[in-house]
Amino acid sequence: MAFLFFGGKRRITKGFFVNSLGNKQTRGIYTFQIDVENGELLFKKHFVTPSDPFYAFNFGRFSCITYRNRTGSIDDGGICEYSATAETLALVSRATDKGKTYVHACTNGDLDTANKLFAVDYYNGEVVVFKIEKKKLIKKIGEYKFTGKGVDSVKQALPYPTYVDFLPGQDKLYVVSLGLDKICLFDVKEDGTLVYDNVNSLSLKSGNGPRKMIFNQDGNRAYIMNELTSTIDVYKYENLKFELMQTVDTYPKDDDDYDDNAPTDILFNLEGNHLYVTNNGHDSLVLFDVEEDGTLTYLDFEDTSPDPVDMLIYNEEGNEWIIVACQKGGIIESYRFASEKGGMVIETEYSCMVNEPVSMTPFINNF
């Protein structure tokens, strides 16, 4: 948390990075702060990058960023590890496999314990393993290539893995496959070999096209965001077993059915009692209440600029702020959860223009 002073008044702010595809002049990594008392967004700095930063996550005191290969060169793409602050961005290490593009990634522990990084290649249908040594990315040591397709001949013509993480309390890796309608589970060997667990992998309804799966704080409920059906499946989860509890729409379809809609992100607030979803097509930020049993109750939605793709949530100073990045709209916008109005999402007057923002991450330790 930072303290800024404007006209003698102290502002309490939290910082975050924005990755932008943009063009040669505008693409790169932007740093912003949000005033957690009124939701104002404050631009700080722009770092121009040689290629397109796509996805980012914090790895201890470092920031790991995947790059989209826009040139076709084997020197493009891959993952970079940075020592990052609001004012500096210093390359620590880089790993790549023939210039491939990774849309999501994670590690198998924190900065002191992790020895592997896992990344999914949407376009080539692979999950890959990189070695971490002395807190640096070293080289690729393993991969698993998916095969097959789904019922949609266009959107599921290939496996299209979209998301990778570990199951709660397990050393079991999971990969969300949009094309196969599956949550694919893997055992990870010490040498980086991935062993597919067909018995415990979760098959979804054909044509769902899952994009992301997250868990509640207790790790006993799984929430799968389905891109092709604009739905969320809520599962009871325990010891590798999934039991479907509920399926809800990601936007109020009784108003109008957007055939071209695709939900793009799903995220809990800090307390875990609210779930937010962004929709591209309906162009909305949707709020759900999380009931005691983990099921969802629709509360409200607010319109966004075109193509919302990513979210951040800050709970500070008695407020719940939601920041949304809209790729086609070329903007980041702030919203507030208004408990005093019965549980609504309210658009603030604050936004900042960013050419094609695609992902956001909070500052490390929020310096």
Which of 235, 234, 228, 187 minimizes the C-alpha distance to 211?
Answer: 228
Sign for the CA dihedral angle at 73, 77, 79, 80 comes to positive
Q: What is the pLDDT of residues 120-137, one digit of tens each?
A: 999 999 999 999 999 999
**Is it the case that residue 253 has pLDDT exceeding 80?**
yes
CA 138 centroid distance within chain:
24
**Is it the case that residue 5 has pLDDT exceeding 60?**
no
Higher-confidence residue: 214 or 364?
A: 214
Give the mean pLDDT of 159-187: 97
pLDDT category at 6 given cuts 50, 70, 90 is very low
Provide CB contacts within 8 A for 213, sequence distance 6+: 163, 165, 174, 176, 183, 222, 223, 224, 225
Give the mean pLDDT of 252-269: 88
pLDDT category at 101 given cuts 50, 70, 90 is very high
Instruction: State what percent of residues in the chain have pLDDT above 70.
Output: 96
| pLDDT at residue 255, rounded to an integer | 63
Q: Which two tokens stand for residue 18?
A: 């924005």
Q: Output the average pLDDT for the chain.
A: 94
**Is it the case that residue 367 has pLDDT exceeding 50?**
no
**Is it the case that residue 8 has pLDDT exceeding 80?**
no
CA distance 213 to 267: 10
